[in-house]
Structure 1
Amino acid sequence: MIYYSVDDWTNAYSNTIHIAGGDGWPALWTELAAAYRASAEANGRARLGLAYGDGERERFDLFLPAGEPEGLVVFVHGGYWSELDNSYWSHLAAGSIDSGYAVAIPGYSLCPAVRIAEITVQVAAAITRAAGMIAGPVHLAGHSAGGHLVTRMLAEQSPLGEAVARRIANTVSISGVHDLRPLMRTEVNDVLHLDVREAAAESPVLSVPRAGTRLLCWVGASERAEFRRQNALLANIWAGLGAETASYEEPDRHHFDVLDGLLTPHHPLTRALLGN
């Protein structure tokens, strides 16, 4: 009998130190994202810094396909709700754009200036604003903390309005954190300030999915055990609550390069996101 236990929760949720060359990933993303934004602007297919709220970070970038959009994809970035912004991820729109979809990539305020519950409300507002600009189905994707935020949109207690919620076709949580309670045992909680009440209220695994929810939980097979556990956890629980769910571990992918599938329209990750 093999028992699973965690002695060091901070280490269990640390990614960079366990990936060869992990420190280089933010710089790599910024270079690729800046090049993609510049190209999209030059072609008249980018609308940058669109406001969805009053806060400095309450902005999103919208990328448009060559023709009339088939629908909208919203990608929500990670960074433990306390780091990075939407400018790091622009290039990840490529696979969906090449498939004919518009892509919105929102920013949001960061902890500790706000609490996670406030970020959840901001993301709902960003999705609502973008959905008001683009007709058709809405597809949600999020990475790590962003995976948490997009799955929160699917819960019955979501701040997302019913009209927009009914338009959500597919959601993909990539390396998502769906149960926030373990994070109270990590050093990152020095910034998040999660307490028992908020961790429970903001954990998708402790909520009921909206009727019609279709969710894929996707993680790298080479990721930390906690991320793989969190990935399977939500798919398992929500399947028992009436949602259509699946979970998948992509071989030879870690917490950062697991996103690379979004770069091409033919990768299974992009195809699953768009329901192809």
Structure 2
Amino acid sequence: MGRRTEAGYVFRDRYPERMDVYRRFDEASAAARATLPCKRNLAYGGHPRQVFDLFPAGNGAPLVVFVHGGYWQSLDKDRYSFVASSLLSRGFSVALPNYPLSPDADMKAIIGSVSACLPAILDTLEAPPPLWIATGHSAGGHLAAMLAMNAKACNVPLAACAPISGIFDVEPLVETSLNAALGLDVERAAALSPMRRPPPCCPLTAFAGASETPEFISQSERFVAHWRASGQPAELVSLRDKNHYTVLCDLLEEHSEIAEGITRAAKAFRREEKRIEWR
């Protein structure tokens, strides 16, 4: 395996604040579940991890689907309930799905599982939302992009894809120790990479910490270029002083760049809808 590639993606020891960040997330998430309206562990399939939480904002609210990371082999939606606090206060309903993990499930099955959650989420809402936005962190950014690309049959319009520090080209991971659980070869990795697929017809707002590894920054830069090459609008928002673990701390701040970026995307979609209606 390439030593540089390994260091670019496997870096727990590089960020000693990681466990403190996770404790902060856990505390904020417990508070969110205790104080916000929440429907917990709703099934969207037969696997024990095919469940989602829904934080509804009421009829007429747009929907955000947030997919957690963990390199497709760890973590859980419960750690990220705090995401709903920032977005619910801005008028969004928020759904957080779990999904089967590697090595018990391969990446293709995980992508299929996440894609299957959207119809169940929409059926749980009392009324169809006017739009939905796909987001997620790290491997969840990959899964959010694939969810956006696979949601063609959905009768609710996709307003934007907004991945956070995502992985869009899976092929470099074949050379890392992460592949022991993922079991990928170069051909399968290419087939499962959003970078190799045509983007859906919607804008992309990608977020990345300015203090990420060069490999992660490059992932977002290249994905934005890929999206633009298809003729769709795309932007990269760099979050100052944030690394791969602290980037989501932005959503704990009053003036969250991520939450504001998602809000801008929803507003832009609604403006465009009105412009088309008045033609």
TM-score of the two chains, using structure 1 as the length reference? 0.89
Among 135, 138, 143, the alignment partner of 1:141 is 135
Equivalent residue, structure 2, for 1:130: 121
Among 160, 179, 187, the alignment partner of 1:189 is 179
Superposition pairs for residues 14-163 of structure 1, below 5 Å? 14-40=10-36, 45-65=37-57, 67-134=58-125, 135=128, 136-155=130-149, 158=150, 160-163=151-154
Asked whether the 8 Å contact 2:26–2:80 carries over to 1, the reply is yes
Residue identity in the other structure for 2:131: P
Q: CA RMSD for the aligned pairs? A: 1.7
SS at match of 1:151: helix
Please report how far the alpha carbon of residue 64 of structure 1 lies from its aligned counterpart in structure 2 after TM superposition: 2.0
Which structure 1 segments of 5+ residues have no match? 1-5
Q: Does 1:244 align with 2:236?
A: no
Please list every run of at least 4 consecutive aligned residues from structure 1 whose deviation after the TM superposition is greater than 6 angstroms.
none
Counterpart CA distance in 2 for 1:262 and 1:28 is 12
Change (3 A) 1:264 1:21: closer
Asked whether the 8 Å contact 1:68–1:100 carries over to 2, the reply is no
Please report how far the alpha carbon of residue 90 of structure 1 lies from its aligned counterpart in structure 2 after TM superposition: 0.2
Please report how far the alpha carbon of residue 154 of structure 1 lies from its aligned counterpart in structure 2 after TM superposition: 3.1
CA deviation string 1:5-32 (max 9, x = no partner): x643221102322224223333332222
Counterpart CA distance in 2 for 1:23 and 1:264 is 19
Identical residues among aligned pairs (%): 32
CA deviation string 1:240-274 (max 9, x = no partner): 11221111211111112211233357423112113
Q: Does 1:203 align with 2:190?
A: no
Aligned residues: 261
Residue identity in the other structure for 1:84: L
Counterpart CA distance in 1 for 2:118 and 2:88 is 17
Change (3 A) 1:78 1:163: same
Structure richer in helix, relative to its length: 2
SS at match of 2:54: strand
Please report how far the alpha carbon of residue 113 of structure 1 lies from its aligned counterpart in structure 2 after TM superposition: 0.3
Residue identity in the other structure for 1:88: R
Which range moves more in the overlay, 132-141 or 74-83?
132-141
Residue identity in the other structure for 1:32: A
Counterpart CA distance in 1 for 2:213 and 2:188 is 25
CA deviation string 1:149-208 (max 9, x = no partner): 1111233xx2x34224x5110111100000000000000100111122321111011111
TM-score of the two chains, using structure 2 as the length reference? 0.88
Which structure 2 segments of 5+ residues have no match? 268-279
Counterpart CA distance in 1 for 2:254 and 2:44 is 28
Residue identity in the other structure for 2:186: V
Please report how far the alpha carbon of residue 104 of structure 1 lies from its aligned counterpart in structure 2 after TM superposition: 0.3
